[in-house]
Amino acid sequence: MKFVAIERLVSQVLRRHDLEAFDPYRFTPALIDDLVISCIAGPDSVPDAEQQIAEPARRPPLWRRLLGWY
Measured distance CA(26)–CA(13) in Å, rounded: 13
CA atoms within 13 A on the CB side of 2: 0
pLDDT of residue 3: 59
Q: Are the CB atoms for 40 and 9 separated by under 8 Å? A: no
Residue 58 lies in a domain: no
Domain count within the chain:
1
Contacts of 7 (CB under 8 A, 6+ apart): 1
pLDDT of residue 12: 92
Residue 54 lies in a domain: no
Per the confidence metrics, is the pTM higher than 0.95?
A: no
Q: For 5-31, write each residue's pLDDT tens digit.
A: 788 889 999 999 999 999 999 999 999
- Domain assignment of residue 19, given as a range: 1-48
DSSP class of residue 20? S
For residue 43, is pLDDT > 90? Answer: no
Residue 6 lies in a domain: yes
